Structure 1
């Protein structure tokens, strides 16, 4: 896949196109917010960075973001173990990583702008509720429910009804996570930025919207492809 940026691309344009590149810039002490209106080459020079290494880091984030755009129809005919492995690597690991990386931005924006934009205080509350629930949910899937589903697939299960009951419980948890995301979208007016939004403010909204999409794909793969095989 072709990397869509060059050394002449403005830092802010890279973050606008692929918000997760902000983590690369933050790590390398490049100001992508107030100082983002400069070419990548200038940003690298100002910070004494190796241009090739910086491009390599950005390409890795880009390729990872593109690989996530999977056509889920292919999984309809995949076996259960393949789907579970894919969910863990493509959705659990990436969600855990994004929740950890996004947390300080959400905290910062709510602290700095919350007085003038009280909806950000609600964003903070909802985000951390979502984070807690998803981390617990994914841990339960990996430690308890997915092993039972693997047994169902292999016809080695001792208590089929217990496994089915746990799958139903997962669906309820998915519903609640979806409700939190709907509240986030409502309180942000569909992630619409105010006129005085700074770069970090914009970044938080963009990444929250991406997290929403990522979560919906995660839930779709489980609720609509994996679980129905056993809820009959």
Structure 2
């Protein structure tokens, strides 16, 4: 069973099903994964729920084995190479499909609803455009530079705690922080993706896809920061 002084990153690593509970209460378990649960609740949660109540819910779900990763082997048990392949084949692939689609949709709804909701949708368009650029560059760096380096050292069983590798990881983690902050801004600007009464189907689809993007990106960053990179930093 988990405790309040367990870090949120370790909780989700041991029990991926906890991710949905933490997201429900707006607790950052990816970029802020190194914080103890009690502190994370105090810093992130806006619903005034006590940390003990969230902890109780996590432990109840854990005892019932409710897990987001039922379809695959527990990520923490995957090798570095297997985990990298999983991240690329699932989370990178997800972004490659969603980013172009959302780019078109954010422009489309800005044009269609500029008169009544222009202030919000201009911010959504700008934030998403920045996020898209950051993520596209980030994926290329991971796939072309960092992931092959991690695989090479892991497969050869050499000492991977070298300056080059660790500096590259610190740079990636900084980029994760930037993406995480933009996602939080998008949620704030849209008032938790609350739709206006005159929202068309494209408007609804855009907000739904942005929520999907947030959910997938949080899992994506968690796997890298709290499992893949953490193994190299310890």
Structure 1 length-normalised TM: 0.67
Provide the C-alpha distance between the structure 2 equivalents of 1:77 and 1:131, rounded to a whole number of angstroms: 31
How far did 1:151 drift?
Answer: 2.5
Provide the C-alpha distance between the structure 2 equivalents of 1:103 and 1:213, rounded to a whole number of angstroms: 18
Structure 1 residues 105-114 or 70-79, which shifts more? 70-79
Provide the C-alpha distance between the structure 2 equivalents of 1:155 and 1:162, rounded to a whole number of angstroms: 17
Provide the C-alpha distance between the structure 1 equivalents of 2:220 and 2:142, rounded to a whole number of angstroms: 13
Secondary structure at the aligned position of 1:116 is classed as helix
The aligned residue for residue 125 of structure 2 is: 124
When Rg is computed on C-alpha atoms for both structures, the one with the higher figure is 1
The aligned residue for residue 96 of structure 2 is: 96
Structure 2 length-normalised TM: 0.67
Which contiguous aligned blocks of 4+ residues in structure 1 show a shift greater than 2 angstroms?
Answer: 69-73, 154-159
Provide the C-alpha distance between the structure 2 equivalents of 1:96 and 1:157, rounded to a whole number of angstroms: 33
Provide the C-alpha distance between the structure 2 equivalents of 1:218 and 1:139, rounded to a whole number of angstroms: 15
State the structure with bigger RCO (CA 8 A, min sep 6), 1 or 2: 2
Structure 2, unpaired ranges of 5+ = 1-67
The aligned residue for residue 195 of structure 2 is: 193
Residues 158-180 of structure 1, C-alpha deviations (whole Å, 9 max, x = no match)? 88210111011111100100000
The aligned residue for residue 84 of structure 2 is: 84
Provide the C-alpha distance between the structure 2 equivalents of 1:75 and 1:219, rounded to a whole number of angstroms: 13
Secondary structure at the aligned position of 2:219 is classed as helix
The aligned residue for residue 113 of structure 2 is: 113
Provide the C-alpha distance between the structure 2 equivalents of 1:186 and 1:111, rounded to a whole number of angstroms: 21
Residues 109-128 of structure 1, C-alpha deviations (whole Å, 9 max, x = no match)? 01111231110000000111
The aligned residue for residue 47 of structure 1 is: none
Structure 1, unpaired ranges of 5+ = 1-68
Provide the C-alpha distance between the structure 2 equivalents of 1:103 and 1:158, rounded to a whole number of angstroms: 38
User: 2:153·2:160 contact (CA, 8 Å) conserved in 1?
Assistant: no
User: 2:161·2:233 contact (CA, 8 Å) conserved in 1?
Assistant: no
Provide the C-alpha distance between the structure 1 equivalents of 2:90 and 2:162, rounded to a whole number of angstroms: 27
How far did 1:157 drift?
Answer: 6.4
Provide the C-alpha distance between the structure 1 equivalents of 2:173 and 2:137, rounded to a whole number of angstroms: 14
The aligned residue for residue 70 of structure 1 is: 69
Provide the C-alpha distance between the structure 1 equivalents of 2:209 and 2:130, rounded to a whole number of angstroms: 16
Q: Structure 1 residues 152, 113: closer, same or farther in 2, change over 3 A? A: same
User: 1:102·1:204 contact (CA, 8 Å) conserved in 2?
Assistant: yes
How far did 1:155 drift?
Answer: 3.1
How far did 1:100 drift?
Answer: 1.2
| From 204, 208, 211, the counterpart of 2:210 | 208
